Amino acid sequence: MNMKKVIVSRLLFVLAISLTLVGCKRSGSGSNTSRATGWQINSKDGGFQYNTKFKEQETAPGLVFVEGGTFTMGRVQDDVMHDWNNTPNQQHVQSFYMDETEVTNKMYLEYLDWIKRTYPPEEENFRAIYNGVLPDTLVWRNRLGYNEVMTENYLRHPGYGEYPVVGVSWIQAVEFANWRTDRVNELYLQKDGYLKQGSQLEATADANFNTDTYINAPTQTFGGNTDILEGGKLRPQTNAAGDPVGIYASRETGIISPKYRLPTETEWEYAALGLSEIRSYNVYRGRKKYPWDGQYTRSGSRKIKGDQLANFKQGKGDYGGIAGWSDDGADITAQVKSYAPNDYGLYDMAGNVAEWVADVYRPIVDDEFNDFNYYRGNVYTKNAINDDGTVKIVTTDEIVFDTLPNGKVVPRDLPGEIATQPIDEEETYLRTNFDRSDNRNFRDGDTQSSRYYADRFGDDEGETDEDASTRKMYNAPKHNIEMDSSGNMIREYDKSNKRTSLINDEVRVYKGGSWKDREYWLDPAQRRYYPQNMATDYIGFRCAMSRVGSKSKGTRKTKN
């Protein structure tokens, strides 16, 4: 009798669990029945296909999660420079991901290797592509210093493999992030069976993988090579008519990752502060001067008491301390992860190398106009379209090269990528949120904001409307490069004595102190700028990625 009761109880329990699961499947986000029409989603007969089992964005290689929130951006401690370029303002940042460490020499060498294999520099048509991504190793030279060992070895020698890459301009950092996006998405598509395993080893200048091309024109990826595009382990379904369904992954599959990119200044500063360390319920306890808690650069921990918490210049002629009893263990840069991370798990957010961020520099942050995901630098573009309505893919015969003000030659788009062009009235007509392609000088340097200042300077000839508007307030020198009939480069320096500023639309913010900086610059609120086409021996970078979906990861803890 007892045995029967046990069996009946177990049967009832299993039935209850089954009904619960069925109920959840019918009502939850994983349901395959449309709540709009009642039709079946992901039917084998065809129709609407969608990833109804998607749970959460996968953390891409090298990144850590940073949950967004509200914080005070700008000066919160010292301002010995009195330059009013980081006044406090309240901002809100969406959740995002950021590189655990700065991009290292080894990571960048992998990029150089792929470029060299795909666009062989021995071919004249591709030589400028490889040269355009090479870091400038001559940044280590000093007129009165012997640094040739770094000039010759720092980038490539294994002894510096896990050290942050330097000599990289802002433009080069952006191109690295774009390349990294493509390689990671290529890996994801291989893992999920859409692409042939090892497809990255078959890439050529005429046939390679680009994320945007795959999304917009998948049949033109890898030059249309079906052996690669349909050579994965995935066997697509067929619909009622016998046609294959789901050959290519789309955004709806959830497989394709958002892009790697440079972090915005707001994201970088928020991540560097690691404010959760001084959080008490729903308020922050006091202010932070460094990525770690406390007002000093030395550790108060019993085991390592007195040790420096970052790699920076201690004083005049002191880059690391006394031999055998070093203050920070490094005279130039240090190997990544040499110091403890902040509360977000991010290493070297103070010291080692300063880091490029995405923003165009302006002395103030216009929080009166926007206080959500603040970023100055938007230049909106759209895909170029052929006469037949298809997207225009750049070929090896159509590479357009730009000559930068410093004489460097870089490709505008690489073969295999979609050609882009500025947006026009088709996108801006009767919109209220944007009305132009280039928004770098919006509300700061344009005609409206320089009403009384404009008369002091005349517009230079040959400038675009955007350049002229910016230069009414930020009258930076404008150097020029031209080619003569023989292909020789003619450098024309701006020798005007009327220039009042070094600021223009091509200078970018960099954050954080470096091995070459004094303690003052370790404060995450400090901000400086540098031309986007130039490089130094103390500026590196790390990548970020936007978070899609929920603000937090996993289950949120119960609030008190």
pTM for this one?
Answer: 0.89
- Residue 472 in domain: yes
Using the predicted structure, report yes or no on whether residue 417 has a pLDDT greater than 90.
yes
| pLDDT for residue 425 | 94
Least confident window among 14-28, 84-98, 465-479: 14-28
**Integer Cα distance of 351 and 474 in angstroms:** 30
Band the pLDDT of 321: cuts 50, 70, 90: confident
| pLDDT for residue 446 | 54
- Residue 42 in domain: no
Band the pLDDT of 289: cuts 50, 70, 90: confident
| pLDDT for residue 355 | 98
| Domain ranges, residue 444 | 105-266+354-546
CB-CB neighbours of 533 under 10 Å: 19
Residue-wise over 252-288: b if at least 16 C-beta within 10 A, else e? ebbbbbbbbbbbbbbbbbbbbbbbebbeeeeebeeeb
Q: Which regions of 94-177 does DSSP assign to beta strands (E)?
A: 96-99
- Residue 285 in domain: no
Least confident window among 35-39, 67-71, 133-137, 479-483: 479-483
| pLDDT for residue 455 | 45
Domains held by the chain: number: 1
- Residue 440 in domain: yes
**Closest of 163, 530, 519 to residue 351, by C-alpha:** 519
- Residue 493 in domain: yes
| pLDDT for residue 501 | 86
Least confident window among 67-76, 130-139, 204-213, 375-384: 67-76
Band the pLDDT of 234: cuts 50, 70, 90: confident
- Residue 155 in domain: yes
First to last CA, the chain: 49
Average pLDDT over residues 543-551: 95
Mean residue pLDDT of the chain comes to: 86
Give residue-wise pLDDT tens across range 324-378.
767 788 999 999 999 999 999 999 999 999 999 999 999 989 999 999 999 999 9
Structure tokens at 323: 């031999």
Task: Give the CA count within 13 Å in the CB-facing half-sphere of 307.
Answer: 13
Share of the chain above pLDDT 90, in %: 59
Q: Report whether 549 contacts 57 (CB < 8 A).
A: yes
| pLDDT for residue 489 | 81
Using the predicted structure, report yes or no on whether residue 236 has a pLDDT greater than 90.
no
Band the pLDDT of 274: cuts 50, 70, 90: confident
Q: Report whether 139 contacts 536 (CB < 8 A).
A: yes
- Residue 67 in domain: no
Using the predicted structure, report yes or no on whether residue 143 has a pLDDT greater than 60.
yes
- Residue 298 in domain: no
| pLDDT for residue 28 | 44
**Closest of 103, 214, 160, 19 to residue 543, by C-alpha:** 103
